[in-house]
Each structure stands twice: as structure tokens, then as C-alpha cells.
Amino acid sequence: MKNHVNVDEWVAMFEEIGLDEAKRMRWHKLFEARHPEAHQGFMEWLGISPEDMARYRAQCRAESQ
């Protein structure tokens, strides 16, 4: 049994429960606004590169304003 989920598998689960791209972005913006360190840790756990993570977090913060 595998003990890690990658980003593609996570997105597939979100899509399976009806979270489209716009809803996933809302979820990420909320996560970043309320728990920025945990959001970063979550993305690290998914294996997102530091460059992509920084860009994604900046996008979440910019769109929240």
C-alpha cells in the first residue's frame, strides 16, 4: 500500500467530488489566508516544486485581496 498521494491524484479526488478548477482555487485561497504555513506544508507533502509553490501561493494571496 502506498503512503503518499501526488498532486494529480489529489486533484482527481477533488474532481470526483465535484470541485472544479474555480472551487479548488477558492479552497486554496481560503487555506492560504487562514493557515499559510500549513498550506505550504500541504503542497510540500504533495511534492510541488518550491518554484511552483511560491508562484501558486503568491497567486492565492493576490486574488484574495
Q: How much is the pTM?
A: 0.82
For 18-54, letters b (16+ CB in 10 Å) and e give: eeeeeeeeeebbebbeeeeeebbeebeebebeeeebe
Across residues 45-62, what is the average pLDDT?
92
Is 16 within a domain? Answer: yes
Domain-embedded: residue 33: yes
Q: Which range marks the domain in which residue 42 is found? A: 7-64
In a domain, 2, yes or no: no
* In-domain check, residue 1: no
| Domains of the chain: total | 1
Q: Does 55 reside within a domain? A: yes
What pLDDT shows up at residue 54? 94
Domain presence at residue 19 = yes
**Is residue 56 in a domain?**
yes
Q: Is residue 53 part of a domain?
A: yes
Average pLDDT value over all residues in the chain: 91
